Amino acid sequence: MATLRLGDIAPDFTAQTTEGEINFHEYLGDGWGVLFSHPADFTPVCTTELGAVAIYTDQFAERNVKVMAISVDGIESHHGWIKDINETQKTVVNYPIIADEDRKIADLYDMIHPKANATGTVRSVFVIAPDKTIKLMITYPASTGRNFDEIIRVIDSLQLTAYHKVATPANWNHGDEVVISPSISSEDAKGIFTKGFKEVKPYLRLTPQPNID
């Protein structure tokens, strides 16, 4: 199996989920997507994570992002676990969870790392653009829960930089200054970035975030 890399087309699949049979690319449609794996149902860290994603539903929706979770447990297990998630995390899981008992999708996305866990998936995150290319991959160990504020932050950066000729600097958050792409000359930048910019170095030019009025 070839290793997935940034810019690759996210492998398509059809799977049984807690919301019925779903084709992944059709589910994403013309929007963005997040596919994330968890090691096992009825485990403490995963319970908090899937609850957090449900709580962040509006934030994902505002960014035209659909989410889908996956583990190697079955549908019946997923449905039973969702009740616990809803109860303990004070939310309602309203996105599909894939049942990948044969591990075909986990293998397709290289979510099983035998030296970490021989049977379960690690905590993988894939952010997928509307053209179905992979824009972000993060892998966490089973013992470390994900920071979904960071995932939202990265999606903001990916969407901003996809449509504007900028990059986001270290520790950037929505609303902060951004970096003008080095491929843009300072002369051209004057016409493109109408809010102005400051030149710290010829290669380091900061401008207000362009998609905020």
- Which helix (H) or strand (E) element contains residue 39? none
Q: Which fold has domain 14-146?
A: Glutaredoxin (3.40.30)
Give residue 120's identity as a one-letter amino acid code. G
Q: Per-residue pLDDT tens for 186-199?
A: 999 999 999 999 99
Tell me the C-alpha distance between 110 and 11, whole Å: 11
Q: Compute φ and ψ for 167, nearest 5 degrees.
A: -130, 165
3-state secondary structure of 172: coil
Specify the pLDDT at position 111.
Answer: 84
Given strand 97-99, what is the order of strands in its sheet? 20-23, 14-17, 97-99, 65-71, 32-37, 123-128, 134-140
Q: Where in the chain is the domain with CATH 3.40.30.10?
A: 14-146
Tokens representing 169 are 């600097």
Closest alpha carbon to 110 in 27, 10, 209, 185: 10
Question: What would the pLDDT profile of 40-76 be if each residue is shown by its tens digit?
Answer: 899 999 999 999 999 999 999 999 999 999 988 999 9
For the cut 90, the answer to whether the pLDDT of residue 2 exceeds it is: no
Find the mean pLDDT for residues 10-21. 96
Give the pLDDT score at 157. 97
Check residue 40 and give its pLDDT.
87
Q: How many residues does the chain have?
A: 213
Contacts of 76 (CB under 8 A, 6+ apart): none
Q: Does the structure show a pLDDT above 80 at 119?
A: no
- Token pair, residue 189, equals 């930048």
| E-state strands within 61-112 | 65-71, 97-99
Query: Which fold, 164-207?
Result: Antioxidant, Horf6; Chain A, domain 2 (3.30.1020)
Strands (E), the chain: 14-17, 20-23, 32-37, 65-71, 97-99, 123-128, 134-140, 166-167, 178-180, 198-201, 204-207
Residue intervals in the chain for CATH 3.30.1020.10: 164-207
Catalytic residue among 10, 46, 99, 112: 46
The predicted structure's pLDDT at residue 91:
97
Q: What percent of the chain has pLDDT over 70?
A: 95
Q: Is the pLDDT of residue 9 over 90?
A: yes
Mean pLDDT of 81-89: 97
Is 6 considered catalytic here?
no
Percent with pLDDT over 90 in the chain: 81
pLDDT per position as a tens digit, 141-193: 888 999 999 999 999 999 999 999 999 999 999 999 999 999 999 999 999 99
